[in-house]
């Protein structure tokens, strides 16, 4: 319904919702209107909660993707081998993408990436695919990009409008995989780490090198994060062997993060963590489930 509208209808909906909440809050102090206001507020909350559960919330109770993958032990050696594999893949693919004047990866044509993501949805493995891709492009830059930059949010799916919002201020290395991740939510994969896995399947063999590099780079960072606490020297060694251009991309990402650090980032990180855990998911900074899905899929050679 909203895909042809050029701006994010979902963001506008949240703005109007925020104005409504302010109206309710102001009028609740008026004794003559209090009971009526409280009744309307309760009705609004019930309608929104019902819509959320029908359009989105029930998807958290689907059978997990892990049930569809081969069982197996995930050992450290296997994780390290896969990390080296993706380091080499990143090095290779990085040679085929464009750079800005500082030698940092840049994207010239985001629309072609969006088109490729939607077409690749139809190429997901049959044993995993339970959702039919529609090729309806409802990926939109968020009106809240400034807030998102300072909150650490890369993108979000709006269950009330079925739009996938992304932060257009993100470094180019983040953007293609973020779009693929949000498109996975549009397919009906609610769990965050399962959306990462679907995004990985969408991007890993893509003919679009921007999407392929962003996907491989995300996988590499996820594997390094999973190893960082117990194998810091190995992680340092891999980072040392980044290609010069990959090191520039990493510096650009770290600079973006440092520029937007603050209390808002801490607050949204905490609330997002609570939200994920309340919906049968791991916390917002946990990569173990995605890495588990990744290694089991790769190790079986599916």
Residues 22 and 137 placed together within one structural domain of the fold: no
Decide if 43 is inside a domain. yes
What's the CA gap between 49 and 17, in Å, rounded? 13
What is the pLDDT, as a whole number, of residue 128?
A: 82
Task: Classify residue 63 by its DSSP letter.
Answer: P
pLDDT bucket at 212, cuts 50 / 70 / 90: very high
Residues 255 and 236 placed together within one structural domain of the fold: yes
What's the CA gap between 152 and 297, in Å, rounded? 29
Residues 112 and 212 placed together within one structural domain of the fold: yes
What is the pLDDT, as a whole number, of residue 262?
A: 64
Decide if 66 is inside a domain. yes
Residues 49 and 118 placed together within one structural domain of the fold: no
- pLDDT surpasses 60 at 299: yes
41 exposure class (CB count in 10 Å sphere: 0-12, 13-18, 19+):
middle
- If we measure between CA atoms, which residue out of 253, 245, 93, 88 comes closest to residue 174? 253
Residues 16 and 120 placed together within one structural domain of the fold: no
Q: Report how far apart, in Å, the C-alpha atoms of 24 and of each of 10, 16, 28, 50, 256 are.
A: 21, 12, 6, 20, 37
Residues 71 and 153 placed together within one structural domain of the fold: yes
Residues 88 and 146 placed together within one structural domain of the fold: yes
Question: Is 257 within 8 Å of 157 (Cβ atoms)?
Answer: no
Of the candidate ranges 9-23, 139-153, 225-239, 271-285, the one whose mean pLDDT is the lowest: 271-285
- pLDDT surpasses 50 at 126: yes
What percentage of residues in the chain have a pLDDT greater than 90? 65
Decide if 4 is inside a domain. no
Helix (H) or strand (E) holding 157: strand 155-158
Question: Using alpha carbons only, how large is the chain's radius of gyration in Å?
Answer: 21
Mean pLDDT for 96-100 is 96
73 strand-pairing partners: none
Mean pLDDT for 64-80 is 86
Helix (H) or strand (E) holding 30: none
Residues 83 and 188 placed together within one structural domain of the fold: yes
Q: Which of the listed residues 55, 75, 90 is the one where a domain comes to its end?
A: 55
Residues 127 and 34 placed together within one structural domain of the fold: no
Locate 193 and state its tokens.
């780490």
Decide if 45 is inside a domain. yes
Decide if 182 is inside a domain. yes
Residues 278 and 190 placed together within one structural domain of the fold: yes
Between 175-187 and 209-227, two packed helices, what is the crossing angle to 10 degrees?
A: 90
Mean pLDDT for 113-131 is 89
Decide if 226 is inside a domain. yes
Decide if 2 is inside a domain. no
Mean pLDDT for 225-238 is 92
What's the domain range around 32?
Answer: 9-55
- pLDDT surpasses 90 at 35: no
- pLDDT surpasses 70 at 94: yes
The total of structural domains in the chain comes to: 2
What's the CA gap between 256 and 259, in Å, rounded? 5
Residues 190 and 283 placed together within one structural domain of the fold: yes
What is the pLDDT, as a whole number, of residue 270?
A: 41
Residues 46 and 63 placed together within one structural domain of the fold: no
Decide if 3 is inside a domain. no
Question: Is 105 within 8 Å of 245 (Cβ atoms)?
Answer: yes
- pLDDT surpasses 50 at 215: yes
Question: Is 288 within 8 Å of 79 (Cβ atoms)?
Answer: no
- Mean pLDDT: which of 128-137, 171-180, 275-284 is highest? 171-180
């Amino acid at each position: 319904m909203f895909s042809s509208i050029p701006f994010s209808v979902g963001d506008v909906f949240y703005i109007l919702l925020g104005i409504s909440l302010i109206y309710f809050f102001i009028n609740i102090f008026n004794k003559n209107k209090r009971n009526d206001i409280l009744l309307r507020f309760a009705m609004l909350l019930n309608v929104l909660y019902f819509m959320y559960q029908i359009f989105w919330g029930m998807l958290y109770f689907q059978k997990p993707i892990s049930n569809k993958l081969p069982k197996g032990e995930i050992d450290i050696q296997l994780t390290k081998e896969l990390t080296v594999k993706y380091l080499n893949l990143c090095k290779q693919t990085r040679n085929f993408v464009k750079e800005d004047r500082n030698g940092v990866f840049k994207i010239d044509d985001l629309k072609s990436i969006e088109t490729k993501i939607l077409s690749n949805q139809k190429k997901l493995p049959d044993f995993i695919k339970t959702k039919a891709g529609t090729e309806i492009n409802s990926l939109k830059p968020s009106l809240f990009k400034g807030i998102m930059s300072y909150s650490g949010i890369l993108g979000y799916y709006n269950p009330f409008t079925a739009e996938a919002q992304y932060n257009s201020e993100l470094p180019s290395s983040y953007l293609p995989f973020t779009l693929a991740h949000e498109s996975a939510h549009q397919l009906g994969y609610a769990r965050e780490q399962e959306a990462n896995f679907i995004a990985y399947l969408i991007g890993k063999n893509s003919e679009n090198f921007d999407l392929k590099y962003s996907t491989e780079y995300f996988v590499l960072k996820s594997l390094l994060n999973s190893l960082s606490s117990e194998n810091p020297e190995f992680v340092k060694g891999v980072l040392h062997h980044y290609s010069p251009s990959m090191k520039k991309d990493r510096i650009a990402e770290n600079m973006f993060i440092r520029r937007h650090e603050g209390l808002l980032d801490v607050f949204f990180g905490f609330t997002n963590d609570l939200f994920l855990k309340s919906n049968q998911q791991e916390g917002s900074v946990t990569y173990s489930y995605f890495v588990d899905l990744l290694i089991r899929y790769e190790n079986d050679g599916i």
